[in-house]
Amino acid sequence: MSLLLKDISLPLAHFVLRVNVELQGRTTGIFGPSGAGKTSLLDLIAGLRRAKSAFIQLDNEILTDTDRRISIPPRRRGIGYVPQDLALFPHLSVQQNLLYGQKSNDDPKPLFSLKHVVDVLELQPLVHRGVKDLSGGEQQRVALARALLASPRLLLLDEPLGSLDSQLKARILPYLTRIRDEFQVPMLYVTHDAEEVAALCDNVVRLDRGQVAGHGATASVLKMS
C-alpha cells in the first residue's frame, strides 16, 4: 500500500493540521497525544471532511486534490473506517450491521466471506443479537468485521482499544493481529498508546499539535519520542 498525503492543511480549533508524508507498509501507526489531529487526519483520508488544501493518493488513485477540485465520495474510496465510538447502527442486528457494506456495494465477489470473517473474529454466537446487547469488546469486534466485509483496500482504525480497560485490551489485541495477518488489508492505526504501536505497527507517524514530529520504522520513532 502506498498512501501519499501531500500539502494537507486543515484549520482545527487550536492549530492547523499540516501533513506531508508518504506512508508505505502494511500497518502504519498514527501516534500522538489526544487532540493532536489524528482523527481529523483519518476523516480527511476517508473523505468525511474537507481540507483547506489536500492531495491524497492511495496507490495510483487520486482521492482528493483540492487544487483540481477532485474529491472522490466516501462510498467510492474503498476505505473501511472503524471510528472511536464504533458507530454500530443501533436499530440493526449484528448480522445486519455486518452485511450492510456488502448489500450497499452489490459486490458479487467480496474480498472476504461473512463466514470467514465471523470465524476469525469469533462472532458466531453474536450474529443474531442486537448491537445494544453486546459488551464493549464484542462491539469492537463487530465494528472491525463490518468494516472488513465491505472489502476495503485500506482500513482506518481510530483508537480501537482506547475505551477498553487493560484486561479487555489484552483480549482484543490478538484479534487485531489476526486481522492484520489473516486478511492482509493495509491498516492505519490511530492510538496514543506506545505499547499498541509497538505490538501492531511496522511504521509510525508521530503527530504533535497537527505537525508530523517523526516518521519511520516503529522502533526508531518510538525511541525518539
Partner 1 sequence: MSGEEWQVVWFTAWVSALSTVVILPFGLAVAWVLARFTWPGKSVLETLISLPLVMPPVATGLILLKLFGRRGAIGGFLHDTLNLDVIFTWRGVLIALGVMSFPLLVRSARVAFEEVNPRFEQIARTLGASDLRVFFTITTPLALRGILGGMLLSFARALGEFGATIMVAGNIPGRTSTLSLSIFQSVQLGQDAHAFRMLGISVVLAFVAVWTSEWLMRRGKERK
Which residue in 28, 41, 54, 77 binds partner 1 (CB under 8 A)?
Answer: 77
Using rule CB under 8 A, residue 147 touches partner 1: yes
Quick one: 23 or 150, whose CB is closer to partner 1? Answer: 150
Residue with cell 508518504: 22
Answer for which of 79, 118, 201, 212 binds partner 1 (CB under 8 A) is 79
Q: Which is nearer to partner 1, 78 or 214 (CB)?
A: 78
Closest CA to 172 of 199, 192, 201, 205: 199
CA angle 221, 223, 225 (to 5 degrees): 70
Size of residue set near partner 1 by CB under 8 A:
24
Q: Look up residue 67 and give its three cell numbers.
A: 487544487
CB of 73 vs partner 1, minimal distance in Å: 7
| x-or-dash string of contact with partner 1, 148-187, rule CB under 8 A | --x-------------------------------------
CB of 88 to partner 1, least distance (A): 9
- Backbone phi, psi, residue 113, to 5°: -85, 155
Decide: is 48 part of the binding site for partner 1 (CB under 8 A): yes
Q: Which stretch binds partner 1 (CB under 8 A): 62-70, 82-90, 177-185, 211-219?
A: 82-90
Backbone angles phi, psi at 121, to 5 degrees: -95, 5
Q: Considering the complex, state which of residue 14 and residue 132 has its C-beta at the smaller distance from partner 1.
A: 132
Binding mask 102-131 for partner 1 (x = CB under 8 A): --xx-x------------------------
**Residue length of the chain:** 225
- Considering only 22, 61, 85, 195, the residue that binds partner 1 (CB under 8 A) is 85
Rounded distance, CA 57 to CA 73, Å? Answer: 14
Q: Which residues form the interface with partner 1 (CB under 8 A)? A: 46-48, 73-75, 77, 79-81, 83, 85, 87, 89-91, 100-101, 104-105, 107, 146-147, 150
